[in-house]
Amino acid sequence: MSLSDVIAAARGQQPVDLLLADARLVNVLSGEIHQADVAIFGGRVVGFGAYQARQVVDLGGRYLCPGFIDAHVHLESSMVQPAEFARAVMPHGTTTVICDPHEIANVLGLEGVHYI
């Protein structure tokens, strides 16, 4: 898939892969909630509004928000391995964490930092 394909889909010149219809879209910057249809092509959000789509999922007014970023985590303090931590936080919307490895570095040195 080329950039021109993504642009064509965003312009509505070709069908998108997925349209998430009737969503309540959470704007995490403004705090507002917008009624919206969200168009996805090639795994990317390419637009909002009416699009022709290969697949339509009606969200029925359910909330849709971006993946959350936890900007300061001491993963080793969770007392679980990274994969288990991910399994615990992903269902609640956290898709990214910024790990501060100083605690594990104090205990295991560079080997611990590489592990995290």
| Residue range 56-85, pLDDT digits in tens | 999 999 999 999 999 998 888 888 888 999
| Residue range 46-62, pLDDT digits in tens | 999 999 999 999 999 99
Do the bridges between strand 94-99 and strand 68-73 make them parallel or antiparallel, or are there none, so unpaired? parallel
C-alpha angle 105/106/107, rounded to 5°? 90
Q: What average pLDDT score do residues 21-35 get?
A: 95
**What region, left, alpha or beta, does residue 27 occupy, with left being phi > 0 and alpha being psi -120 to 50 degrees?**
beta
Mean of the per-residue pLDDT values of the chain = 93
Contact (CB, 8 A) for 42 and 1: yes
Percent of the chain predicted with pLDDT > 90: 72
What confidence score (pLDDT) does residue 116 get?
A: 77
Answer whether 0.75 is exceeded by the pTM.
Answer: no
Count other Cβ atoms within 10 Å, centred on residue 39: 25
Collapse the DSSP code of 9 into the 3-class scheme (helix H, G, I; strand E, B; otherwise coil) and give the result: helix
